[in-house]
Structure 1
Amino acid sequence: MPSDKLYNDPKLVEFYDIENGWAADSEYLKSISAGHTSILDLGCGTGLLTSALAATGKRVVGVDPAVAMLDVARLRPGGDRVRWVEGDGRTIRLNESFDLVLLSGHAFQVFLTREDQLSVLQTIAVHLAPEGSFIFDSRNPRMEEWRKWTPAESERDIVHTVLGKILAWNDVRHDAETDIVEYGTFYRIAKDGCTYAAQSKIAFPSYEDLVSMMDEVGLVVERWLGGWDGRPFEISAPEIIPIGRRR
């Protein structure tokens, strides 16, 4: 989790924005933030979305446990408008409240146990203003997206502005007993053959699990989305995206 090289090794963090740039989730979250004046971005990563939200004049705090990610975030254009905090989503307590608390990029899935997932949901709850909203995303386990994370299906070419052409790929292992997925991420630099690699683990909580945990920590879901295109959640949707408030 916090020790994952993918997020903590500066050499690997260099590839993060190339693979995880501005996308449909960023666009949706920027859109729904329009009616909010204060935002807590848990698991803010390199701060691409966080900085964009702060650029509109909102009070924005970005929290992440990975120093290497925050180092990138602080240097990002507009990063000086954000208060960056090194912290763990399970335990961070800022003693302030926000109109909107978000956790995007499937960051919720790095918390592997029900206990840890409940702790993150409690963090969301304690930082919500009375009329505040929360939103986060998690892949729908029914769709078994991880089955495509094999070397053959995931191989791709990316381009780094300094290192040039990079061959990237993943591999994957699934623990049927725990439903934990462990996947490798690999980057091979074309000009010298140097390869950077990391091993990561993520969980796939079900819709039913999320409903139960949300109720346990006092969160009420007002809308369930099944994708960042705004579709409603149903059992074959790719995403599980709850939007709600404190009870």
Structure 2
Amino acid sequence: MMLTDIDLSEYDDPRHYDLENPLGAEKTFFLDLVEETGGPVLDVACGTGLLAGEMARCFGVEVTGIDLSAPMLSHARDMSGDLPVTYVQADCRDFDLPEWYALAIMTGHAFQNMITDDDVISLFRCVYKHLQPGGHFAFETRNPSASALVSSCSRTFYRRLPRSEEGAIICSIARDYDSSQAVLDYKVWRENTETGQERVSGGRLRFLTDDEIRGLLKRAGFQLQLVYGDWNRDSLTDYSPEMIYLCQKPYSDM
């Protein structure tokens, strides 16, 4: 079954997405994790496959990337060459693959697209059933206590993207935060300074607390191992920018 309630408009332009979202410190974190756990690896919400390709290139492990966005996956396939990476269009809450994995990852804050507890539990249980006994799952979400969760319904400057062959891009954003649901709705305008062409997209993000995530992981059967506050593996504090979870499927589940 393909679930389509997630707004995918942010992912219609893969090249500009990569321009806005290059790999950062998370690259070293996840490559170190692959070195520690081995493969095969499942990359959930893999996007354009930047990280999936790096994992396959550096360690020769087989990687399966799943994502809902057809344009992102098409771009990923074009960039993967002969690397041992397979891309599958699938909903992370409802997929069925023929392999068990030593490691599953979910990054790029894709976890925050899970808007309800049912979404999260479906994701966790689906990942869980695809892990080998003793397999690991790592993902991150922005720390709500360190995030500026305020509404700004008027359009305000967000950032200017580096100049490309198509010109510079000016980004502006409007935000509407619902504190009762811990959900942020946003709308982004991207204007090309040379052509005047403007692209508009948006989405929804949920900001779960650490306690809430721990409870949902337990419900899905995972054993939580560590929670980090940044990509340097520092301990989580109220001021940490990230909440990075490393959990495990018990060996007893065989």
TM-score range with shorter-chain normalisation? over 0.9
Query: Residues of 1 paired with 2:185 and 2:82: CA distance?
Result: 32
Superposition pairs for residues 67-216 of structure 1, below 5 Å? 67-78=70-81, 80-147=83-150, 152=156, 154-159=157-162, 161-216=164-219
Query: Residues of 1 paired with 2:55 and 2:219: CA distance?
Result: 30
Q: Deviations over 1:65-89 (max 9, x none)?
A: 1001101101114464211000000
Query: Residues of 1 paired with 2:94 and 2:219: CA distance?
Result: 17
How far has the Cα of 1:51 moved from its partner?
0.6
- 2:25 is matched with which residue? 24
Which stretch of structure 1 is more off in the superposition, 154-163 or 172-181? 154-163
Q: Which of residues 44, 54, 63 in structure 1 aligns to 2:46?
A: 44
- 1:244 is matched with which residue? 247
One-letter amino acid of the counterpart of residue 164, structure 2: T
8 Å Cα contact 2:7-2:203 kept in structure 1: no
8 Å Cα contact 2:151-2:177 kept in structure 1: no
Instruction: Name whichever structure is richer in helix by fraction.
Output: 1
Runs of 4+ displaced beyond 6 Å: none
8 Å Cα contact 1:54-1:81 kept in structure 2: yes
How far has the Cα of 1:155 moved from its partner?
2.7
Query: Residues of 2 paired with 1:208 and 1:67: CA distance?
Result: 34
How far has the Cα of 1:2 moved from its partner?
3.6
Structure 1 SS opposite 2:175: strand
How far has the Cα of 1:26 moved from its partner?
1.6
Query: Residues of 2 paired with 1:147 and 1:13: CA distance?
Result: 28
How far has the Cα of 1:15 moved from its partner?
1.1
Q: Deviations over 1:173-223 (max 9, x none)?
A: 101221110111221001121110101101111111111101101001111
8 Å Cα contact 2:151-2:176 kept in structure 1: no
Structure 1 SS opposite 2:111: helix
CA-based RMSD of the aligned residues comes to 1.8
One-letter amino acid of the counterpart of residue 17, structure 1: D
Change (3 A) 1:108 1:78: same
Which structure 1 residue ranges, 5 or more long, are not aligned?
none
8 Å Cα contact 1:54-1:78 kept in structure 2: no
Which structure 2 residue ranges, 5 or more long, are not aligned?
none
How far has the Cα of 1:162 moved from its partner?
3.0
Q: How many residues are treated as equivalent by the alignment? A: 243
Structure 1 SS opposite 2:213: helix
Query: Residues of 1 paired with 2:40 and 2:126: CA distance?
Result: 16
8 Å Cα contact 1:15-1:160 kept in structure 2: no
TM-score by length of 2: 0.90
